[in-house]
Amino acid sequence: MVRICRWLLLLLLCSSGARAGQLSFSFDFENARIVSTAISSGNFNLPAGFCDSDDAKALIRKLRLKDCEALISRFKALRDKQQPRAVASALAAELSRPGYGKYAPLAVEVTRQLNEYIPPTFAAQLRVRFIFGSNSAGFAFDDVDDVYVDMMRFGDASTQELAETVAHELFHAVQNHVMPPENLPKAAGAASVTGPLWLNHLLNQLAREGTAELFTHPIIDRAPTPYSALKIAGIERNNRRIGGIRTLFETLGWRMLLVPPENEDAYDNIYGIMFYTDFDETAYDLGWLMASTIIRQDGKGAIFDLLKRPPKEFLLRYQAIASKEGKLPLFSAEFVQQVQALR
């Protein structure tokens, strides 16, 4: 039986070795191994305690399932599909090899990518939980230091391509440590009160995904692969309509202000128009454009510094730079005025 992976990697070490702060992360492949083995073999007698594991609970939460029985039913349904079953079979075999086979170099590549944007003074202990069978390549909840990467999505991916998603998700965990806490409405209320809070939340998500996209967006700079071809096509499509994407984001922002959602579920339906794969994740490419524009002017270190400030500063800094360049899509003066007024 393959043991749970507990690689603990110290990142961003100074040349002298020791320093006051350290960022570390660990990899846990156990859920991916168990589930991929079950799907490939057809034996769904999962180990005792599986349903009580953090990984299973996270999958249930992410998929909005009733319970673990529903989760296992999903795994059984995946076995009936040729592609997930083939990916599961290859993954189960790879994870049985010493050092997890071709995934052994993954940590070094993730470390290299994170080094570009995280200063050596930042300290945290994070964990990457590799899973199988969700509806997302990667995700993170904002209340823990665990991030999740779904190996079902990476059957054709290279080490670099997988590492880019791992770094993207780990950066979300870093954001949880440095971004200011949010004050979301606990109930529906007057637009003048709740609207600015929801707009601030939308700007927060744009800053989060736009800066994390710095790790996954470079895929467009390389020749398409079986894994990357669809992603590249989506980015190219979004690049051609980036002005309309900016308009759409601004429209959602006005919606938050003038007719604010009643709760987080209602917010999610609006947010999803630009952040979910059903609609090409257009906010990711808008956010990347904004982040890369800021980097061109202020350098990579500006990204981490902006995360520590109110999320409106991400949009306002982009707007200030884009206004001078004259070729980038601009937010309207009226919308910028509303953003500036946020507290």
pLDDT in tens, 154-203: 999 999 999 999 999 999 999 999 999 999 998 889 999 999 999 999 99
* Strands across the sheet containing 138-140: 7-11, 23-28, 124-131, 146-150, 138-140
Of 178, 207, 231, the residue at which a domain comes to its end is 178
21 shares a domain with 158: yes
Residue 17 has pLDDT above 80, yes or no: no
**Nearest of 156, 149, 135, 119 to residue 23 by alpha carbon:** 119
Sign of dihedral through CA atoms 279, 268, 134, 70?
Answer: negative
The pLDDT > 90 percentage for the chain reads: 87
Q: Would you state the structure tokens that stand for residue 256, as one six-digit string?
A: 């938050």
267 shares a domain with 211: yes
Residue 23 lies in a domain: yes
Contacts of 84 (CB under 8 A, 6+ apart): 39, 78, 133, 152
Gap between the Cα atoms of 316 and 337, Å rounded: 10
The answer to whether the beta carbons of residues 227 and 156 sit under 8 Å apart is yes
Q: Which domain holds residue 138?
A: 7-178
Model-wide pTM > 0.75: yes
The answer to whether the beta carbons of residues 304 and 117 sit under 8 Å apart is yes
128 shares a domain with 94: yes
27 shares a domain with 144: yes
pLDDT band, very low/low/confident/very high, at 121 (cuts 50, 70, 90): very high
Q: How much is the pLDDT for 14? A: 29
